[in-house]
Each structure stands twice: as structure tokens, then as C-alpha cells.
Amino acid sequence: PPLTPSAYKGNAGRVAVIGGCADYAGAPFFASQAALKVGADLSHTFCSAGAAPVIKGYSPELIVHGYLNEGAEASAVETA
């Protein structure tokens, strides 16, 4: 959508990327970065606690949440 003076962060789209562990931090980073490059305002990355500092180190533009337990099944992850 076109930007307007009354627009605020998140009006042009919000994206959540879920995935990644300490060994595989690249895919969630690139997915989140791609969302920002194509126009999303906010990109939240939900990953394991071990991957969070790695992904945060790649780019200050991303919002990274290190909530997932490595080795836990997706069905076992509780929603907030």
C-alpha cells in the first residue's frame, strides 16, 4: 500500500517466521530479511534460544524471539 503521513509501523504488513536452531540460523534470517525487502514493516522471527543471538547479530532490523526449545515438536510449543 502507498505510504501516508498517518501510517505507523506495521501498517504495510507484519510477518512471523518460525524456525531455526543454533546450527541452522540462516534460513529464518533470510526469510525475515526477504519479507522486509518486499515491503513488510515488521518481521518477527521465532526461533530457538540458541539461534536468537546469532540471528540478532546478522541484522538489527529484525525482531527476534528465542522462545522455541531445540528438539521440541511444533505441537508441543505453547502459544502466548
Could you report the per-residue pLDDT of 25-60, keeping only the tens digit for each?
899 999 999 999 998 989 999 999 989 999 999 988
For residue 53, what are the contacts with CB-CB under 8 A and spacing of at least 6? 66
Listed in order, strand segments (DSSP E) in 1-80 are: 14-18, 42-48, 63-68
Say what the pTM is. 0.76
Phi, psi dihedral angles at 15 (to 5 degrees)? -130, 140
- Higher-confidence position of 36 and 2: 36
Could you report the per-residue pLDDT of 17-26, keeping only the tens digit for each?
999 888 888 9
For residue 9, what are the contacts with CB-CB under 8 A and spacing of at least 6? 41, 42
